[in-house]
Amino acid sequence: MSWTDERVEILKKMWGEGQSASVIAKELGGVTRNAVIGKVHRLGLSNRSAGGTKAPGKEKAAPKVAPKPKAPPKKPAPKKEPETAKPAAEAKPIPARKQIIPAGQPLPPQPSANEISPEALASVREIEKGAKKLHLMELTERTCKWPIGDPATDDFWFCGLPVQQGKPYCEAHVGVAFQPMSSRRDRKR
């Protein structure tokens, strides 16, 4: 089936009258509803005229809506005594709005829930001084993958020292990353 000028005129006329694509397809014969919709869009007829009519016998009855029960009359609110200034202890603090940081910007320092002992930090700092300072593409399964620095800056690298057996980090970083449960519990008190 091809779209002849005569068929296109019938399509335009029926579409302008508000006929559905299914009804137009039946009238034209040899085309599907989707073919009619496609031709309508290609012709730029998507907007229908305001005074269109629907296909006969296709009207739907309006759904019946149950009447709403009347609400009981509202009672007048009790009179309030004039408010005095509340003490500062009762006033609730306004929660701070979380800051949104654009991509690529360094993150501000975050409070740590798990505080690490100063001895462990000193040990890690000493180890990091002798680290290989590898970039992501230089890491292997035998190199420590502990990130150091801010990933958004050029001064970011990975430790690169030999890993502890079965762990992704060197001995010093394993001591920081994998802490025994009892020591974590003790610190929270």
What pLDDT sits at residue 52? 46
Predicted confidence at residue 62, as pLDDT, reads: 55
pLDDT at 22: 93
Q: Could you tell me the residue ranges of all domains in the chain? A: 1-57, 118-187
SS (H, E, C) the chain: CCCCHHHHHHHHHHHHCCCCHHHHHHHHCCCCHHHHHHHHHHHCCCCCCCCCCCCCCCCCCCCCCCCCCCCCCCCCCCCCCCCCCCCCCCCCCCCCCCCCCCCCCCCCCCCCCCCCCHHHHHHHHHHHHCCCCECHHHCCCCECCCEECCCCCCCCEECCCECCCCCCCCHHHHHHHCCCHHHHHHHCC
pLDDT of residue 94: 61
**Residue 45: what pLDDT?**
83
Q: Give residue 2's pLDDT.
A: 80
Q: What string of pLDDT tens digits covers the 189 residues of the chain?
A: 688 999 999 999 999 898 999 999 999 988 999 999 999 988 888 766 554 444 444 455 555 665 566 666 666 666 666 555 555 555 566 666 666 777 767 766 655 545 666 776 777 777 777 788 888 899 999 999 989 888 888 889 999 999 989 899 988 888 888 777 665 565 555
Position 56 scores a pLDDT of 47
